Structures are given as structure tokens and as C-alpha cells.
Chains A and B, each alone.
Chain A
């Protein structure tokens, strides 16, 4: 099973709402990632978790709060978002945090619209 799943597929939320995005993998990967992708742009790295600990935060605003409850799950908690945060949010995982055989597997994404 080389699948990364993400829920929900689509999310519409107001600027005062609190919502969460969920990502799951059962490949035994110990590194998990959140990316943000705007239309016609490449993915931008937001957070990296290695062995369930936050290892990279790319200066993401605090209205985005990641959580890695265990090695299979990754959440992204959203609060007080802005319309410019509307984007496709992608989750990815990899077998090891670093090394030349490292390969990232991506989920299908959550399309987020902030109204």
C-alpha cells in the first residue's frame, strides 16, 4: 500500500472558523510533510515532521498549527484564516528523513476555500 490519504477533499470555511485537515499513511514512513499549493505554482513546504517531532517550520503563520499524534497521522489545525490562505493543501510522507533513496509520496490534497 503506497497510499497517502487526506480528508476532507474540499473544505469551505469562514475567517472565524476552526477546522482541521487530516492526513494518514500506513507505509511505515517516519517523515511527514505539509505543503501549500496555489494555482499554477509549485508546492511550497510548510512543515516537516521526523519521528513525530516537528523538524522544519518554514515561517508559517501561527493560524496554521500542525500536529503529529502518531507515526501514521498528521493533522493541520486551521484558525482565523484569511482569504489568501485558499489553496490546495498537500500532505506527503517518506521512508526516511534524509538520504539518496528518499522518495516522497503525496496525497490527493484538500482544496481549501476561505470566505
Chain B
């Protein structure tokens, strides 16, 4: 069974810092990996999707990479802002199911 781990569980940084969130998974047989953002009590907002044949995807200040051989993905956030404060979840998709990590709670201090 696919297991997805996110480290750290929580992260607090000053505004303007570049930061990296990590996601690791145990089974490299994946269709894709998706990064989500979730604000407290709200639904999930899709940030980036990386297909299994891709190495990275970029959207604005966000860059996500995928290394299937090592079972890792990273989400890079450049020039962080207080509005980036949220919980970030990675999810692996294969065999009709999404496997979610437990998330990293990010706090960007003004």
C-alpha cells in the first residue's frame, strides 16, 4: 500500500524567505502527484500537478519537482508572503485512488 509522508509537520518562516516543503512516498508506480493548499475549515485548492513522466512544474512563485526513483517530491515557494500561510498537502494518484500525506502547516510571519 502506498504511504505518503510530509516533513516537516509545521514550519514558521519570516516573510520573504524561500522555502521547501517535502513529500516522500513508498511506491514509485504512480500516475501523478498533486500539491494542494488548504486554508482552515476550507476545501482543497489545487496548486500543481506533476504527471509521472514529468520532472517539474511551475506556477508563479511555486515550483514542484518529482523524483520517482527516490520517492520524493518537493514544493518550492519563492519569496513567501503572509497570504501563503496554510496547510500544504501532497497526494499521489494511482489505481483510482488518491493517497494523501498528512500535510505541512506553514506560517509566514509579517
Contact = CB atoms under 8 A, between A and B. Distances in A.
Contacts of A42: 89, 100-103
B78 interface: no
Contact of B34 (A90, A98, A104): A104
A65 B101 CA distance: 27
A105 B46 contact: yes
B46 A97 contact: no
Interface in A76-115: 88, 90, 92, 97-109, 111
Interface stretch (B13-21, B69-77, B90-98): B90-98
A48 B98 CA distance: 11
Contact of B43 (A90, A98, A102): A90
Contacts of B81: none
Contacts of B106: none
B45 A106 contact: yes
Contacts, number: 61
B41 A103 contact: no
Chain B, interface size category, equals 20 to 34
Contact of B96 (A6, A90, A98, A108): A98
Contacts of A11: none
A43 to B, nearest CB: 6
Contact of B49 (A41, A88, A97, A103): A103
Nearest to B32: A100
Residue of A4, A43, A107, A111 with most partner-chain B CB within 10 A = A43
A102 B41 contact: no
Contacts of B46: 103-106
A45 interface: yes
21 contacts: A6-B43, A42-B101, A42-B102, A43-B44, A45-B97, A48-B96, A56-B96, A92-B44, A97-B96, A98-B95, A100-B53, A101-B32, A101-B49, A101-B51, A102-B31, A103-B32, A103-B49, A104-B93, A105-B46, A106-B36, A109-B42
